[in-house]
């Protein structure tokens, strides 16, 4: 039962990551500030790519850094990498073994561009060939579906963001994270019941925007990996540019809609979907207005900042996927057709 225990380990591993690595991340931030960095070039796959999405918003909005998500095939298949002058190249990989991510780091090294690895294996090739490294320190992850390595990747992204800015206020907010995750885990019995009610769900769309765009993607990936549900993630804005057409009465819509800048915007869309298109809405939120609109709702801590919310909002989503997997009679530890490390080129 690695999946369940790894979900429940999260308060502990998140606290440990801050404890053990913050000084090191601050040193890395000081070194990076001496470099000329116009933009971040970020390479990742799967769950790690979803952590990259969080970086795109957090480093973008808070550190004013534009983020280019790499097309690894330009390096590994086409062998025509872009010119990385004035970039910081970041590779995110739980195992540190994915060949296409390594090919991006290798090219950055050839071009003399600074590189940063975010990985759970400090002895991996990725860690060893990168100039800087954040060890997500989550301990071995045995379940095929990544959970604690995802949230620790998000935390690593947040720690670097704060260190680059030297922001004491955000740093102290971050200290409250393990407790928020602990509270989210208390939703477990309610989530189990909700999962039972979703036993017949075969497809769904998952909406998130801004900071929680990554949550929509990660929730969707977990539903596909574990429960074989055809789940499509969208930003609420992209969704309105075409995909909204697929929605018909009774369609399952899952939404991540915490208080914050995107709230009003998301609520406009969700109200329309519920009132005019009669969808079945499941909402993860810390605002009563959103929780009341939904047929099924998972409440989040009230006082959580939007920038920090992706580290908490994914937790009920993970529990939901776990219980739905069991409720459908599938194996939480051995999803069909997947292995822990995928060696794509």
End-to-end Cα, the chain, rounded Å: 31
By CB under 8 A, the residues from 65 to 84 that bind a second copy are 65-69, 71-74, 77-78, 80-84
Residue number, 162 or 229, with CB nearest to a second copy: 229
Residue 99: CB minimum distance to a second copy, A:
10
How many Cα atoms within 13 Å fall on the side-chain side of residue 155? 35
Instruction: Decide: 62 and 112 in contact? Cβ < 8 Å.
Output: no
Residue 41: CB minimum distance to a second copy, A:
6
Q: Is 329 in the site for a second copy (CB under 8 A)?
A: no
Instruction: Decide: 17 and 149 in contact? Cβ < 8 Å.
Output: no
Residue number, 247 or 312, with CB nearest to a second copy: 247
Tally Cβ neighbours within 10 Å of residue 112: 8
Residue number, 238 or 333, with CB nearest to a second copy: 238
CA distance 40 to 90: 7
The pattern of x and - marking residues 5 through 44 that bind a second copy according to CB under 8 A reads: ---------------------------------xx-x---
Residue number, 24 or 272, with CB nearest to a second copy: 272
Give the range of 52-60, 131-139, 155-163, 186-194 binding a second copy by CB under 8 A: 52-60
Residue 200: helix, strand or coil by DSSP? coil
Instruction: Decide: 277 and 247 in contact? Cβ < 8 Å.
Output: yes
Q: Is 261 in the site for a second copy (CB under 8 A)?
A: yes
By CB under 8 A, the residues from 215 to 244 that bind a second copy are 221, 224-226, 228-230, 232, 235, 237-238, 240-244
The pattern of x and - marking residues 134 through 173 that bind a second copy according to CB under 8 A reads: ----------------------------------------
Q: Is 305 in the site for a second copy (CB under 8 A)?
A: no
Residue number, 17 or 223, with CB nearest to a second copy: 223
| Cβ partners under 8 Å of residue 288, min gap 6 | none
∠ CA 318-145-70 to the nearest 5 degrees?
100
| Cβ partners under 8 Å of residue 329, min gap 6 | none
Residue number, 73 or 109, with CB nearest to a second copy: 73
In order of 7, 38, 254, 280, 314, the CA distances from 283 in angstroms are 20, 37, 6, 10, 12
In order of 17, 95, 173, the CA distances from 47 in angstroms are 19, 12, 25
Q: Which of 4, 56, 323, 326 binds a second copy (CB under 8 A)?
A: 56
Give the range of 5-13, 190-198, 245-253, 291-299 binding a second copy by CB under 8 A: 245-253
Spell out a b/e string for 143-160, using b for 16 or more CB atoms within 10 Å of the CB, else e: bbbbbbbbbbbbbbbbbb
Cα 212 versus chain centre, distance? 8
Q: Is 344 in the site for a second copy (CB under 8 A)?
A: yes
Q: Is 335 in the site for a second copy (CB under 8 A)?
A: yes
Give the range of 49-57, 279-287, 295-303, 310-318 binding a second copy by CB under 8 A: 49-57
């Amino acid at each position: 039962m690695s999946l369940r225990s790894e979900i429940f380990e999260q308060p502990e591993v998140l606290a440990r990551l801050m404890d053990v690595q913050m000084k090191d991340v601050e040193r890395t931030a000081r070194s990076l500030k001496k470099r000329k960095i116009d933009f971040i070039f970020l390479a990742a796959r799967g769950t790690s790519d979803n952590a990259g999405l969080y970086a795109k918003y957090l480093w973008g909005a808070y550190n004013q850094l534009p983020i280019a998500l790499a097309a690894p095939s330009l390096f590994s298949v086409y062998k025509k990498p872009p010119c990385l002058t004035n970039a910081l190249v970041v590779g995110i990989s739980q195992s540190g073994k994915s060949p296409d991510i390594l090919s991006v780091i290798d090219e950055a090294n050839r071009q003399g561009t600074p590189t940063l690895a975010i990985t759970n294996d400090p002895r991996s090739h990725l860690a060893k060939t990168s100039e800087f490294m954040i060890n997500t320190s989550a301990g071995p992850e045995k379940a095929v579906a990544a959970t604690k390595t995802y949230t620790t990747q998000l935390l690593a992204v947040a720690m670097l963001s704060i260190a680059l800015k030297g922001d004491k206020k955000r740093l102290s907010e971050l200290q409250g994270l393990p407790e928020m995750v602990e509270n989210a885990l208390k939703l477990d019995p309610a989530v189990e019941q909700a999962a039972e009610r979703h036993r017949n769900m075969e497809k769904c769309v998952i909406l998130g925007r801004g900071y929680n765009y990554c949550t929509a993607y990660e929730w969707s990936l977990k539903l596909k990996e574990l429960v074989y549900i055809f789940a499509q993630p969208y930003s609420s804005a992209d969704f309105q540019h075409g995909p909204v057409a697929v929605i018909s009465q009774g369609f399952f819509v899952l939404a991540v809609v915490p208080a914050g800048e995107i709230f009003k915007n998301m609520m406009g869309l969700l109200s329309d979907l519920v009132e005019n298109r009669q969808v079945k809405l499941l909402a993860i939120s810390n605002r009563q207005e959103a929780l009341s609109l939904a047929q099924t709702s998972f409440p989040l801590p009230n006082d959580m900042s939007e920038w920090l919310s992706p580290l908490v909002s994914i937790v009920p989503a993970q529990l939901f996927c776990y219980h739905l997997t069991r409720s459908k009679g599938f194996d939480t530890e051995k999803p069909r057709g997947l292995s822990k490390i995928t060696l794509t080129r």
